[in-house]
Structure 1
Amino acid sequence: MDRFREAAKARRTLFNAWLTLNNPFLIELIGEAGWDCITIDQQHGLGGNEALLACLTAARAAKLPAIVRVAENDPGLVGRALDAGAQAIMCPLIETVEDAEAFVTAVKYPPRGLRSWGPYRARLDQAGDYFTTANGFTIACPQIETRGALDSLEEILSIDGVDMVCFGPNDLSVALTGRLDIWAKEVKEAMTLVLRKCRELSVMSLIFANDVDFARPRVEEGWDIVAVGTDAGWFSKAAAATLGAARTK
């Protein structure tokens, strides 16, 4: 099953649980809670390859399709995450069309790309010949979070093999305004542009929302995938709220 593409075709927004603690048990709880998919963050998250493998194993058991954000645009990191069972790879800090092309080349097998053969876990979820189906199942998701990526947006979205993009409002707000302000006018204008271009060019759209207040309008706008905060943020807020409630006389 390809939950990402099926939901996008049906214009149904998926809710993404963004993990920075990268704990397998949390993934089981997230699945039980009813989230649609997860992002395992290896750029700003905890753990290395062992944590990644454990999280992808838990995701498969919980029936949660997994996006992995790699630390950088490196074909070794991309291939490792795909072989371990990630369906989608997110790449941060894309600046140019050349960056995006190099990323797609790492995600896709020949003749489109140069991904090396060795899908030791990835093949477990695929019926038939994995090599012939992988390029249509895997997802290359460059992030739009720099001025360069925004300036080259249409060219990046037009690259064969760019299946999805992730709009990063935090980094983009800094790039566009010099301050961390996801509600800035410049960020709102960029969001509108990215979503419109994704629809025009049939590219799936993912956006990270810091909180529910930012997420709700994005769902109404029809983004394909909306991430709402992070596991660490949820825990921090719940821990503070629980303690505050217990201390109240």
Structure 2
Amino acid sequence: MTCEEAEVLLHALIDGELDAGHAREVEAHIAGCAHCAALMQEYQEIRQAMAESDVQYKAPLELRRRIEQALPQPQVQANVQPLPSRRAVLRGFAMGSAVSAIAATGLVAIVLRNDDAQRIEAEMVSAHLRSLQAGHLTDVISTDQHTVKPWFNGKLDVSPPVIDLTAQGFTLIGGRLDYVDARAIGAVVYRRRQHVINLFVAQTANTERRAAQTATLQGFNIRRWSDRGLNYWAVSDLGADELAEFGEKFEGAMRANKEG
């Protein structure tokens, strides 16, 4: 584990958000790295200082009463059902029926998914940029898919598919573990002329296939799609047309393997 990878996970370790395997990896790195050990100490001191200080403020009861009194009261007319007050609406979100709760949760989930997709894409570009630094591109170097794929076994819950696309103009050069959204993720690395393509693969609960979409961020093209319980993000400075060609070749090879 590198210092950059450890720094991403330090806060998650302090907050107890890492699984046992990743926690051991970070702790082992800290034990042998003075820089990350100092950062860990600093973060723990900040956390302790915040816990001991009175940084929370609770509004007085009188302020709540004044706000409630200022809210408009519903106008009740004959044979007309009164409109719910704002308090009733808020109470409905907090203590409503299961149907209301599900509907509200569904709405929030849609908003979070849209925001989350943009955030993840930004993290993918950052991971791509990190990989371009000397010594960061691959953990296993090989043009043989039968060497690269087994290397992932045991390191991730689901090993990413590794397809040899050399004959199609995209040379497999290896793979590595990366960290996105404070979680380990597989990256299969290809090269097109002098351009690197990082294909990030992560497991998802949604098994439906989602057609590819292309976005551009910080001068890099991102092609993302989902298929059979896996999310894919191909990131490169290749033109959008060539990155689309890569995605199509990859998906075509995956379909051929499934049919075969």
TM-score (norm 2): 0.21
Which structure: larger Rg? 2
TM-score (norm 1): 0.22
More strand by share: 2
